[in-house]
Homo-oligomer: A and B are copies of this chain.
């Protein structure tokens, strides 16, 4: 009880001191030198996202500590923390208590769902492995042109991938990106980046792709698809169409995926 009283007396002095401080500092430049059209933590979030996208830190490299960032940016640690939390939620960073905050590796081209045995919600098997089939040019359909904000029949790069799970072909991807938006894309260049379109766009063009909206439906395969997937009989396929976005929200990729779904289901967590 005595301690509590001591504490109270100290607290009251602190309160007094703060009030005095406030009075003294009124109408000074203390607060006015911060632009406030956008919350500070969002400005910092954007700034850090840009610095990450420009490769200032490699994947799995640690950022400066929250306190160091706070000092260099002239804000408090709590504000930096809020910005970092947002970036963690968006998949740009990951944190390890006691160690630091690290840059997350680039987006897996497979996406965030995984293949499982239908009806089994427990054990996710290993992710499928991609195999580059071709990299050609194509013209945008009306849907693609609209989604990517291009003019009709605009030129596109088309990257075709075959996904294998334990050696078995399970999915076929066609990824489309605008021609003018990036440097040249071809099979040779893709090979330099491990056959990963996203790795190439991030390392070479400085554009980090994150997943946008996704659509799912059921279809029947055409002859070409059956050949590429090695189907001997017609079976219904799960067709997934999804968009890829840059940091700015700009849609930079349209991807169509056909999945064999007799033996696998596409599972996403909540």
A contact residues vs B (CB 8 Å cutoff): 3-4, 6-7, 10-11, 13-14, 17-18, 20-21, 24-25, 28, 30, 116, 118-122, 141, 143, 146-147, 210-220, 236-239, 241, 243, 245, 259, 261, 264-270
Contact = CB atoms under 8 A, between A and B. Distances in A.
Contacts of A10: 17, 20-21, 24
Contact of A6 (B3, B18, B25, B265): B25
Given A119-B143, A120-B143, A215 B267 contact: yes
A147 B118 contact: no
A34 to B, nearest CB: 15
B121 A213 contact: yes
Contact of A270 (B11, B18, B146, B212): B212
7 contacts: A118-B241, A119-B143, A121-B243, A214-B268, A216-B216, A216-B265, A219-B236
A218 B241 contact: no
A6 B23 CA distance: 11
A86 to B, nearest CB: 12
A258 to B, nearest CB: 10
Nearest to A210: B270
A218 B237 contact: yes
Contact of A118 (B21, B214, B215): B215
A80 to B, nearest CB: 16
A65 B73 CA distance: 33
Contacts of A215: 116, 118-119, 121, 265-268
A214 B18 CA distance: 53
A3 B18 contact: no
A178 to B, nearest CB: 16
A51 to B, nearest CB: 23
Contacts of A245: 270
B217 A266 contact: yes
Contact of A217 (B122, B238, B269): B238
Given A21-B10, A147-B121, A241-B118, A216 B28 contact: no
A236 to B, nearest CB: 4
